Amino acid sequence: MSLLEMRNIVKEFPGVRALDGVSFTLDRGEFHALVGENGAGKSTLMKVLSGVYPEGTFEGDILVDDQPSHFKGIRDSEAAGIAIIFQELSLVKELTVGENIFLGKEPSKFGVINWSELYHKASNLLRDLRLPIDPRVKVGSLGIGQQQLVEIAKALSQDAKILVLDEPTAALTESEVETLFGILRDLLARGVGMIYISHKLDEVFEMSDRITVLRDGKTVSTHQAKEITKDGIIAAMVGREVGDIFPIPDHKLGEVALKITGLTAFSIDNPDKKLVDGVSFEVKQGEVLGIAGLMGAGRSELLMSIFGAWQGGFSRSIEIGGRPATISSPSDAISKGVGFVTEDRKRFGLILEQTILDNMTLAGLQKISGRFVTNRTRETMAAKGPMRSLRIKANSPLTVAGTLSGGNQQKVVLGKWLLTNPKVLFLDEPTRGIDVGAKQEIYAEINKLAKEGLAIVLVSSELPEVLGLSDRIIVLHEGRMTGEFTRSEATPEKVMSAATGH
């Protein structure tokens, strides 16, 4: 008897067969990972399970404890003991952490919400989870990593017997991941079954009992985790062997493209607190400069301040192409040839309701269309270039961005900046949520852009990525620069030791 059985699920969207007869089972206390390339159908399968796509909008059967289930919406799946943590954060930014956790199930007395009990329960929950988050602050004021932890707390607040986690660790630090896994192990021991979606195969292997691979809406295979290797899983995902995923860089460095002196940035909440403290660096044409550091080291703040997008106070002097430059806003930065792929694609990168075409041409509109007229044909042609080179999985440039899989949305953001023909490109966590095959493509693209003379500044929490792509690496620790290494000098140990302040 399985805890959960999904039989022959078929789900179609206009023009896309996202699930083509997928079957899947889950046992009590089992950790079952679901992996596959971007667009394989993982999130869609979980939306079917959780009633986001109600009965009647898909084919196939769902059985919980051998009982056929007919979910008309999320409420029904919750009532059946299914909790889901969505890939795209679904918190309401204007509400507090506590309000979000208990949204729709606020403790109340005589129809009036009991606020003190709500916050009391919320702070107990956060404490149990060892999350140092104040339940009374607005979710919108938290960083993306903390928002993700609140999302997890929200799911755990329901007493679920099936817990679905869709890329829950994308924005978490290593220690936050360990905290999360500790909590999950407790729940597994209590018999909760878990479905875990991730592109981080190390995590998948650390936790899984079984691993199921999806490709193009079909189940490729299900494995006992003990009986398969990482390379085996990757080959099943991609449908071919994947060799070394990093290109061999042979960049010719040119003139200094961007020079930053004395960059200091202050906290938004606490205007006296320095998040970045007197950092200076330069990057040359054709160079990939990696910025390493732990979460909270000030890397994103650094890029945002240069770009004129940081909401707190900041100061710095800038030279572009050897000449002093002022950048007072993102549009200023764009007009001076600086592009920025941000880490939070929802907040800065992508308008989900618009088409791929509109998204891609937002920043690049002027360059592609001449100054005043917009030429749809020319735009459509231009957008097809990056769609092809980045292998964006969509029927046409007119597909709405919000209907793309998570990884493909990230590729649209990258494509959009490539169309602005920047001289300097900032990449903040460019491969978050991206599958191995597509990562390899994005790495090749980064390498090609550098070869063509673009100056690239890369921030990534994945150390292998920084080491594998950068010509030079600077390391930040608590806002200060604590190390600088050339490609040949850099080792994981040296970079980590600088990142932890040793």
Q: How far apart are CA 296 and CA 466, in angstroms?
A: 17
- Residue 13 near which of ligand ATP, Mg ion, none (CB within 5-8 Å, type-dependent): ligand ATP
* Sole binder of ligand ATP in the list 4, 22, 40, 454 (CB under 6 A): 40
Q: How far apart are CA 297 and CA 307, in angstroms?
A: 18
- Residue 263 near which of ligand ATP, Mg ion, none (CB within 5-8 Å, type-dependent): none
Contact pattern for Mg ion over residues 392 through 421, marking x by CB under 5 A: --------------x---------------
Pairing mode of beta strands 59-64, 67-68: antiparallel
Radius of gyration of the chain (CA): 23
Q: How far apart are CA 358 and CA 365, in angstroms?
A: 9
Of 316 and 393, the one with the shorter C-beta distance to ligand ATP is 393
* Sole binder of ligand ATP in the list 121, 215, 299, 393 (CB under 6 A): 393
Contact pattern for ligand ATP over residues 423 through 452, marking x by CB under 6 A: ------------x-----------------
Q: Which long-range contacts (CB under 8 A, 24 or more apart) does 479-485 make?
A: 479/265, 479/274, 479/275, 479/276, 479/277, 479/279, 479/297, 479/298, 479/301, 480/277, 480/278, 480/279, 481/279, 481/280, 481/281
Q: Which of 429, 104, 176, 135 is nearest to 293 (CA)?
A: 429
| CA separation, residue 29 to residues 52, 78, 266 (Å) | 24, 18, 46
* Sole binder of ligand ATP in the list 406, 468, 479, 483 (CB under 6 A): 406
Q: Sign (positive/negative) of CA torsion 89, 172, 400, 424?
A: positive
- Residue 342 near which of ligand ATP, Mg ion, none (CB within 5-8 Å, type-dependent): none
169 binds Mg ion (CB under 5 A): no
What's at 105, amino acid-wise? K
Distance of closest approach, residue 408 Cβ to Mg ion, in angstroms: 9
Residue listed under structure tokens 């001076």 = 336
* Sole binder of ligand ATP in the list 4, 9, 22, 36 (CB under 6 A): 36
CB 139 within 8 A of CB 95: yes
Report the DSSP beta bridge partners of residue 271. Answer: none
* # of chain residues touching ligand ATP (CB under 6 A): 20
CB 60 within 8 A of CB 10: yes
* Sole binder of ligand ATP in the list 26, 38, 122, 284 (CB under 6 A): 38
Q: Which of residues 265-324 bind ligand ATP (CB under 6 A)?
A: none
Q: Which of 141, 343, 301, 461 is nearest to 133 (CA)?
A: 141
Distance of closest approach, residue 198 Cβ to Mg ion, in angstroms: 10
403 binds ligand ATP (CB under 6 A): yes
198 binds Mg ion (CB under 5 A): no
Q: How far apart are CA 349 and CA 79, in angstroms?
A: 35
What's at 275, amino acid-wise? L
- Residue 40 near which of Mg ion, ligand ATP, none (CB within 5-8 Å, type-dependent): ligand ATP
* Sole binder of Mg ion in the list 69, 87, 342, 361 (CB under 5 A): 87
Q: Which of 428, 420, 464, 472 is nearest to 288 (CA)?
A: 472
Of 199 and 284, the one with the shorter C-beta distance to Mg ion is 199
- Residue 38 near which of ligand ATP, Mg ion, none (CB within 5-8 Å, type-dependent): ligand ATP
Distance of closest approach, residue 87 Cβ to Mg ion, in angstroms: 5
Q: How far apart are CA 161 and CA 192, in angstroms?
A: 5
213 binds ligand ATP (CB under 6 A): no
Binding segment (CB under 6 A) for ligand ATP, from list 114-122, 140-148, 202-210, 401-409: 401-409
422 binds Mg ion (CB under 5 A): no
- The SS3 call for residue 502 is coil
- Residue 190 near which of ligand ATP, Mg ion, none (CB within 5-8 Å, type-dependent): none
> Both tokens of residue 55?
């009965």
Q: How far apart are CA 481 and CA 291, in angstroms?
A: 10
| CA separation, residue 39 to residues 145, 237, 415 (Å) | 24, 11, 17
44 binds ligand ATP (CB under 6 A): yes
Q: HSE on the CB side for 260, CA within 13 Å?
A: 24
* Sole binder of ligand ATP in the list 9, 22, 39, 81 (CB under 6 A): 39
Of 445 and 471, the one with the shorter C-beta distance to ligand ATP is 445
* # of chain residues touching Mg ion (CB under 5 A): 3
* Sole binder of Mg ion in the list 26, 35, 37, 43 (CB under 5 A): 43
Binding segment (CB under 6 A) for ligand ATP, from list 74-82, 339-347, 364-372, 399-407: 399-407
Of 336 and 345, the one with the shorter C-beta distance to ligand ATP is 345
Phi and psi (nearest 5°) for 249? Answer: -80, 135
Q: Can you give the binding site for Mg ion, defined by CB under 5 A?
A: 43, 87, 406
Q: Can you give the binding site for ligand ATP, defined by CB under 6 A?
A: 13, 16, 18, 36, 38-44, 87, 393, 403-408, 435
